[in-house]
Amino acid sequence: MQKKIREASQVSPIIAFFITLSIQIGIGVLSFQRTVSRHSGQDAWVVMLIAGLSTLAVMWMILRLLDNEQAYGQPDLLSIHRRLFGKWIGGMLNMAALSFVTIFGVVTLRSYIEILQVWVFPQLSVFGISIIFCLMVWYAVLGGFRVVAGICTLSTLYMLPLILNGGFELQQAHFSNLLPLLEHSPQSLMQSYMQAIHSYLGFELVLFFHPFIKRPEAARKWYYFGLLTALYIYLMVLILALTYFSQAELQTEIWPTLTFWKAIHFPLLEHFDIIGIMVFLWVFLPSISMSAWAISRGIKQTFPIIRQKYALIFVLVLFVILSAMIRDGARVEWINNLYTMIGFYFIYAYIPFLLIYQLIHKKMKQKQTKGTG
Amino acid sequence: MFWKKKRLQETDPNEKSPKTVKDLIAKLKDYPDFTHFEHRGKYLNCWISFFQSLVNIEFVHRDVFPFLYRDDVRNLNDIQERLPIEKIIRTRDISVIQTKLLEGYIVIQIKKSQAECLVVPSIRVKGRQVEPPEVETSIIGPKESFVESVDTNINLVRKRIPIPQLAMQEFRVGKVSNTRVSLLYLKGIANMENVNTVRQRIEDLEVTSLLDCNMLSQLISDNNNSPFPQFIDTERPDRTAASIYEGKIAVFVDGSPSALILPTTIVEFFGAFDDYFLTWHLASTYRLLRLFAVAISVLAASLYVAVLTYHYQLVPKDLLGTLITSRSSVPFDPIMEALVLEGMIEFLREAGARLPTKVGQTLGVTGGIVIGTASVQAGLTSNVLLIIIAVSALAAFTTPNYRMGTTIRFIRFPFILSAEILGLLGIILCFTFLVCHLLKLTSLGRPYIEPVYPLRVTDWKDAYFRLPYNIQTTRPMFLRPGEAARANRKRNIEKRGKKWTDIDE
Amino acid sequence: MKVKTAGALIILVFLSGCLPTSVIDDILMVEAEGYDYIGDGKVLGTATMPNYVESGNQGGQGAGLPSTAAMMSSVSGVTYDSKSLIDKFQSKGQRPLRLGKVRIMIFNKRMARHGLKKELDFRNRDPETGRDMQLAVVDGSTNKLLTAQYQTTIPVSRYLTDMIDQNQEQNYPKSNLHQVLYSYYGNYMDPFMPMIRKEGMHLEMRGIALFRNDKYVMTLPEKNVFLFKMLFEKFNQGVYDYQYSPGKHVVIRNVYSTVSYKVRNGNGAEPEIFAKVRLMGDVRQSAPHLLKKDYHTKVEKGMERDIEERAFKMVEMFQKKRIDPLRLGDLVRSYTRQFDGASWDERYPHAHFHCSVHVNIMEMGVSQ
């Protein structure tokens, strides 16, 4: 039913690394230190480590799911839904999945605008700036998946200096803050787990873009490698924040990384935070443009009459409206929590379910064919 | 539309292309430089016609006419056999006759109304001698540059690539001008897909005239709405030859003193050919310096505007005093100040380019110094900005390619304007638009910002850096060359002698 | 595509509307804030902005502002405690006041005793100011300190910060906003700031002001600052003056000093804290005939004993006053599993502090 994807719009396997990494490092990285350590204190890094490793397991399931699907058609979530659940239920599930991705995009966009408003331009209008962002995303996504993947690749490059300046933090680190090790009970660790997952979410978009990677077998290691790098970056950023701030102080900082940047100064510029926030646009951009791309493509797949370029405009208008509807910081937090909840169940409950269902479906089919044959 | 129809009607209905040689000659006879006469010899009577301004008269008198008086020349056949000139055409095709006549051939007929003609080449080649390059000058290395004649240019390249694999294809472009366009590449190394794309694009051109290869470059570029040049133009035969060896394609246009090299990536615009003559450390440093200069040139003025308008926090304490004192007497906002100065620099550049060389130089220097100092003293601009703008203008011209340099000077204006509107956020948004644009851009279907995206680390060896030659054993991957290996790495190392095993051994 | 880009740019212009600008020479950048408590929840606030135009425009001759033009350089006024001074003084500002370059905040003793809770909270919340700014307590009036004339003509804010920065490279421990907030918000530790006084035409550092939570408690005299820094962090430029016997001094400049702690019985009624200091230094000055062959035993050992004794006394005093600027409580926490934080305040005065110092004199200057 679906056309095969042209090779010209596919990207080489190594790009899978950059995409996974840059989508995972998103809004979370500026603010997760506080939320993750709220319940688990200095042991938050353990939670982060466990959650990161669990993403590897989820990724294994996702890739398994997609590999199994390869035999039947295009290996992506929407095709799987279609095939397993039929046109109507599958279509409904597709819409649900797309709304989840929409939330992902909107949360990222709105959180970045919030940071801009708080730190740089309090007078910035959400409506105006989100239109400008969406114009930018529109211009990028018009170029197709290759350009979106290019943004992911470049984003990783621009991210480097932001991550590397953690070295300044190291000079004032109190490593005794990490002691005593493993003091917290498993319950309090579990409470932090949810927040840790919030930072890691994003990689499940593999379910949408996987068919666009050339030689999927070769890409597999790059997916895992991307996840591991993200895990490493998160761990490093978290440990730096834990050692730089005292525990109770950290709880007062909504964006610990930015607060830390306020203290950096170079001979030619002070207040690194402003520069950092601006460059951070490139850390957010992959998530926003990838989600816009995934949704517009999803709409095209579900309703084949709509062309993707028109679907894209619809998606971006939706982004603007939704982010303008989120008026204040409290609502940003609310939608972040909602997103975490849905994401949590999506990756830990829905994906295993889908994998099992796929196997059962296959068995049933085999029996049927045996029965009839 | 209506007006188009009207125009068509206005053209003279009698003005149609000639059907016979007689018509043609009748039409051309009015032109004073057209010569048409009857030769009456002892053995042969014939009509000879040519353009005095196009043929080599001396050659005609010395080498062609004497033959017409010989006793063994009785008809066209004899002329064709006896004349010691290659490529004599015997034809009845009126279009060939017309073209050749206008290229400087002599047409010989037996009778005035006879359709069969002999077309003898005697083209007068008048043009510049090969001279040292003026745009892409180099301190060391070859001092030859292309001239306006395509044959001389191809000669300059063939001299450097003396092998039969150097393939050449020729086209005629332009409905009216019929300009010669030649395409050179190495068989077996250049990617045939690229060659076919270029050929097809050239053949599909719908133009009346083609005067220069930069015009051609814009006509066949992938995205002609982009301010970025997508093919390199060079006036250096050595650079062209090196590119052909790499697997690229060179295109020459008759009448244009430069060659187009395609496909290219954006970094190649920042590599000067000098880089290959210096040791690799220096060459790499200079390349990085040029890229840094580009960044300065695009961003310096806009950063000034953004920081001084919105982000005063960013200014370090020791610089605050300097900035504020230099700005305290300026009545404008930073944006106006920047635009005024940028405008002045642009005027100077444009005036320098338009005026004759000698006047231009004087004007540039005096204008720069006098206007700069005076505007600071008059309180129109600040000292600091003057330095910034001057440096960024200078930095833009470190780019070896003139077209790229002007593009860089152009794209700073959107940056300055957006810096005024949204501060640093505006700069980063503008930058993002620029990067998205570059991500989309292709050169002959190959990605424009190649070694970065798609990420191909092996191509970095001759992009941002120029690593030593013994590492440069493969051709650039983005060209998808027919043969990737340039030299055998292993043998390359073996020939340098034994690896040293220990100190003093 | 270009049409689209141009369209996008135009939309960009219209959508963003007008953001308030702060053109660098059209604003007044506050560099120092002073708070004098005058009782009853009222504060006399002072803000100073450096004056850059005073010297005139070097490049411009005959144009622009006259060389005598000077902007206002300080404002002061009474307001309630915790009010943002900038907002208060905006009505007195010749040009818009901006907070982004505040480099130092100073409080008088009474203000510090009253408590800095609200000011610290405000600073922590404020995205505009840097986190490497200095805080200091002033012995005397901050208003007088900030508005007085000094020997130097550079702005007083810069004079203050230069002085504090330079001292913190040497004997004084680092105490910028980050350090203060770290201790203020952190559990089981208390902040400290340098103490400053105006002496005639100049300023001077007068020791360290110690706090309990946000309230000033006491001043650590200047002679103990070296000991404090030695126990607080590793450093390499301090100068220690050891009185060998009355009238006979040996001064060493430390080349390197490290401290490491051990804790025993962290949850007991009387926790034990062991500090081990290694101090390497060169002799700067010495009373004649003191550095003979047996200087090892005489001077080094004597100095070790002296430092140990004084450090012990200093910590004992902290315990008595129930303040913890050395962050010993946090130290005990990090060494103790399931640390009993609730009773720490009770147990802290009973903790035993042991200090062992090892002094190593490396060089003795260029003369024998």
Tally of helices (H runs) and strands (E runs) in chain A: 16, 0
Cα distance between residue A307 and residue A313, in whole Å:
10
CA distance C223 to chain A (A): 26
From A175, which residue of chain C is nearest by alpha-carbon distance?
Answer: C334
> Reduced to 3 states, what is the DSSP secondary structure of residue B169?
strand
| Cis upstream peptide for A304 (omega within 30°) | no
From B445, which residue of chain A is nearest by alpha-carbon distance?
Answer: A8
How many interchain CB pairs under 8 A, A with C?
Answer: 86
Helices (H), chain C: 2-16, 85-89, 109-114, 117-125, 142-147, 156-169, 177-185, 225-232, 295, 301-321, 328-335, 344-347
The pLDDT of residue C57 is 47
Q: Are strands C28-29 and C97-98 parallel, antiparallel or unpaired?
A: parallel
Mutating which of C181, C182, C328, C335 best tests the A interface, going by the most A Cβ atoms within 10 A?
Answer: C182
Cα distance between residue A335 and residue A341, in whole Å:
10
End-to-end CA distance of chain B: 86
Do the Cβ atoms of B375 and B381 come closer than 8 Å? Answer: yes
Do the Cβ atoms of A227 and A372 come closer than 8 Å? Answer: no
Beta bridge partners of B55: B123
- Per the structure block, which two tokens stand in for B140? 């060391």
Look up residue C26 and give its DSSP letter. S
The pLDDT of residue C138 is 94
Biggest alpha carbon distance in chain B? 100
Do C334 and A135 count as a contact with CB atoms less than 8 A apart? no
CA distance A272 to chain C (A): 9
The pLDDT of residue B1 is 44
Do A271 and C183 count as a contact with CB atoms less than 8 A apart? no
Residues of chain C under the 50 pLDDT cut:
54-68
DSSP A250-271: HTT-SSHHHHHHTT---SS-S-
The pLDDT of residue C13 is 59
End-to-end CA distance of chain C: 82
Residue written as token pair 């989508």: A23
CA C293 to chain centre: 41
Q: Half-sphere exposure of residue B128, counting CA atoms within 13 Å on the CB side?
A: 14
Do the Cβ atoms of A168 and A358 come closer than 8 Å? Answer: no
Residues of chain B under the 50 pLDDT cut:
1
Q: What would the pLDDT profile of A327-352 be if each residue is shown by its tens digit?
A: 888 888 899 899 999 999 999 999 99
CA C182 to chain centre: 13
Residue B453 contacts A, CB cutoff 8 Å: yes
From B372, which residue of chain C is nearest by alpha-carbon distance?
Answer: C59
| Cis upstream peptide for B263 (omega within 30°) | yes
CA distance B266 to chain C (A): 19
Cα distance between residue B254 and residue B257, in whole Å:
8
| All structural domains of chain C | 26-53+69-220 (no CATH), 222-368 (3.30.300.210)
Give the neighbours of chain A: at least 3 Cβ pairs within 8 Å.
B, C
Look up residue A178 and give its DSSP letter. G
Q: What would the pLDDT profile of A227-252 be if each residue is shown by its tens digit?
A: 999 999 999 999 999 999 998 999 99
Residue written as token pair 């050339």: A214
Closest CA to B179 of B121, B234, B99: B99
Mutating which of A281, A284, A288 best tests the B interface, going by the most B Cβ atoms within 10 A?
Answer: A281
Look up residue A179 and give its DSSP letter. P
Mutating which of C11, C15, C29, C52 best tests the B interface, going by the most B Cβ atoms within 10 A?
Answer: C52
Question: Which helix (H) or strand (E) element contains residue B35?
Answer: strand B34-40
Q: What is the mean pLDDT of residues A197-205?
A: 89
Residues 6+ apart with CB under 8 A from B53: B33
The pLDDT of residue C12 is 59
Do the Cβ atoms of B147 and B133 come closer than 8 Å? Answer: no
The pLDDT of residue B14 is 56
Do B310 and C22 count as a contact with CB atoms less than 8 A apart? yes
The pLDDT of residue B9 is 54
Q: Measured between beta carbons, which residues in chain A are less than 8 angstroms from residue B429?
A: 132, 136, 281
Cα distance between residue C331 and residue C233, in whole Å:
13
Do the Cβ atoms of A294 and A211 come closer than 8 Å? Answer: no
Q: How many residues does chain B have?
A: 505
Do A249 and C186 count as a contact with CB atoms less than 8 A apart? yes
Do A147 and B433 count as a contact with CB atoms less than 8 A apart? no
Beta bridge partners of B439: none
Cα distance between residue C230 and residue C232, in whole Å:
6
Closest CA to C20 of B430, A275, B421, B429: B421
Q: Are strands B34-40 and B117-121 parallel, antiparallel or unpaired?
A: unpaired
Do C189 and A262 count as a contact with CB atoms less than 8 A apart? no
Beta bridge partners of C197: C139, C204
The pLDDT of residue C229 is 93
Do the Cβ atoms of C142 and C135 come closer than 8 Å? Answer: no
From B436, which residue of chain C is nearest by alpha-carbon distance?
Answer: C5
Give the neighbours of chain C: at least 3 Cβ pairs within 8 Å.
A, B
CA B480-B486-B489 angle, 5° bins: 125
| All structural domains of chain A | 7-367 (1.20.1740.10)
Look up residue B55 and give its DSSP letter. B
CA A312-A317-A322 angle, 5° bins: 125
Amino acid at A369: T
DSSP C123-163: HHH-SSS-SS-EEEEEES-HHHHHHS--SS-S-HHHHHHHH
Q: Measured between beta carbons, which residues in chain A are less than 8 angstroms from residue C330?
A: 176, 246
Do A120 and B425 count as a contact with CB atoms less than 8 A apart? yes
How many interchain CB pairs under 8 A, B with C?
Answer: 107
Cα dist. B337→B136, B344, B385 in Å?
Answer: 34, 11, 8
Residue written as token pair 């880009």: C5
Do A151 and B439 count as a contact with CB atoms less than 8 A apart? yes
Task: Provide the whole-model pTM.
Answer: 0.90
Cα dist. C246→B446, C242, C249, C250 in Å?
Answer: 85, 10, 8, 11
Cα distance between residue B130 and residue B139, in whole Å:
18
CA A161 to chain centre: 20
